[in-house]
Amino acid sequence: MSDKILLVDDHIDELNMLSFIISKHFPQYQLVTALNGKQGIQLYNTMSFDFIITDVQMPIMNGIEMIKIIRIKEPNIPVLFISGFDEFKYVKEAITLQVIEYLLKPIEPKVLVKQIKTIIQNKRINEGHLKEIQELELNTSKHLIVELINGKLYSEFSLEEQQLIIKYTSTSFYIILIEVNVFNSSGYSLIKQFLAKMNKYDYILISPRESLFIIPANKKADLNAIKQEFIEKLDNNLINLVNLYVSRNISHPKNTFEEFSNLKNNTLKNFYEVNSTDNSIAKKDEDFFLYQQTHLENIKQFIHAQNIESLETYLNQLIDDLILETPYSPNYIRFFFSNIFEKIITNFDLNIANYDKIFSQLINSQHISEIKKYIDQIFRDLYEREKILDYSGDLYVNETKKYILNHYNQNFSLEDISDYIGLSPKYISDIFSRNEGVGISKFTNKIRIDKATELLQNTNHNIGQIGLLVGYSNDAYFIRKFKEIIGMTPNAYRIKYYRNEL
């Protein structure tokens, strides 16, 4: 809404009187005045108005002539004519212009106010209907596009539907596909914020984690700029949560399914790291849910039996099969393995906080080999854990070890362990030393330094960062303990054992 009223009258006194009444009763509107139709046209050409109130008979250009010109550009703008009793011929012309609102002089303020309120109310109703029609047309067009990308032939649509599709896409266009790697409400909130930032481009939500944007081909020169604009709108919270793909030029809507299938298959090939020329599209969502249900039941059985070797073999075979078949959307596979990852951590009594970063990396993995890497890492941790834990030994000693393994990267005390187990600190300390031959402090330092050697071999973190990651806030103390247990400094160890290929 422009919130402006154009008032045109050649009599200054009447103009001032009408201005006073309108300003008093409708202060939300800016009132703009003119003394004749020519001035009214000039004002109309420089700004927009919600409606016009005009005298009929005026010098230079009368109100009827002015409205005829304005209605060429804006046929639906509301108009209120003001005229004398003896100007019936003007009334007839007003009717031909579909101007229903017509007041006779002298003007009664109450009648004028009532008439203006009627105009405002009718305008809002008409705008509401127009908006509803436009929204219905837009939603229908989006629905038709979704049917196209799901395989319905263009020739199967009615002529009216084809016209809606062309109107929405233009004859030739590109698709930008946004794939979102989030599976929680906070993630969806971030995506909504991103889509709001891109509000100048209309989008179609085709699944909870996929949206597509239609970019007319006449913007081909700007396509890279548009893609860059999308990337720039992805802030630090989103940059690792979103994959962005651009289709080839779609020369006509009838080619939408073929080109969208190519685009989806390219995302599959990229994720599964295959060079196959097979253009089979990913299996349907309902197939995945059956797939997930079947395999999760088998995985739960291995977890329940605490059978780490069988579980590892099963998951590795699962990944190998997926690489061969490339059957499902990468988002579904990320979700599937993150679900498995969480079940393993929870059921094997690992501290999930220690795996937050890996969990996030798994969710955002670009290739299935990355998922395999994270799965391999958790199994290395499980095997190391099994070597340390003695299920045939003392229960309290084992629980102490579990606490240390889950909290080695934090600052904890003997009292914290005591509270966790529910026994006195002295009893815990004595029973641990008696069974293990070393005290809790020495055992904890050994665990921390072993973790530090892994980080020195496999990461580029500096010595201070590694110290913090394994529970040492003091660099000098960390270096001293490392040399005491390993026989060399952390730097010397890295130079000797760092895995360059990583």
* pLDDT attached to residue 1: 47
Residue for token digits 């303990």?
Answer: 481
pTM for this prediction: 0.57
Domains of the chain as residue ranges with CATH: 4-107 (3.40.50.2300), 154-269 (3.30.70), 282-388 (no CATH), 394-502 (1.10.10.60)
Burial of 432 (0-12, 13-18, 19+ CB in 10 A): buried
Digit-coded pLDDT (tens) for 368-395: 888 998 888 889 888 888 888 877 788 9
Three-state DSSP class for residue 74: coil
> For the chain, which ranges sit under pLDDT 50?
1, 279, 281, 501-502
Q: HEC states along 236-284?
A: CCCCCCEEEEECCCECCHHHHHHHHHHHHHHHHHHHHCCCCCCCCCCCC
How far, in Å, CA of 287 to CA of 376, rounded? Answer: 27
* pLDDT attached to residue 238: 67
Mean pLDDT taken over the chain: 84
What Å distances lie between residue 391 and 266, 301, 386, 400, 420, CA to CA?
Answer: 49, 20, 9, 12, 19
**Amino acid at position 252, single letter:** H
DSSP states along 391-446: TTS-HHHHHHHHHHHHHTTS---HHHHHHHHTS-HHHHHHHHHHHHSS-HHHHHHH
* pLDDT attached to residue 183: 57
Residue for token digits 């094997």?
Answer: 348
Residue for token digits 């995302």?
Answer: 267
Query: CA nearest 22: which of 48, 61, 62, 51?
Result: 51
What Å distances lie between residue 414 and 398, 417, 439, 453, 474, CA to CA?
Answer: 15, 5, 11, 25, 19
CB 201 within 8 A of CB 213: yes
* pLDDT attached to residue 95: 58
How far, in Å, CA of 256 to CA of 262, rounded? Answer: 10
In the DSSP assignment, the letter for residue 155 is: G
Token couple for 88: 């019936």
Phi-psi region of 349 (alpha: psi -120 to 50; beta: other; left: phi over 0): left
In sequence order, which ranges of 97-222 are alpha helices (DSSP H)? 109-149, 159-169, 185-197
In the DSSP assignment, the letter for residue 152 is: -
What Å distances lie between residue 33 and 30, 36, 40, 80, 123, CA to CA?
Answer: 10, 9, 8, 14, 21
Query: CA nearest 474: which of 491, 498, 482, 401?
Result: 482
* pLDDT attached to residue 239: 67
* pLDDT attached to residue 263: 86
H helices, E strands: number in the chain:
21, 9
* pLDDT attached to residue 502: 44
Estimate the crossing angle of helix 368-388 against helix 330-347, to 10 degrees.
10
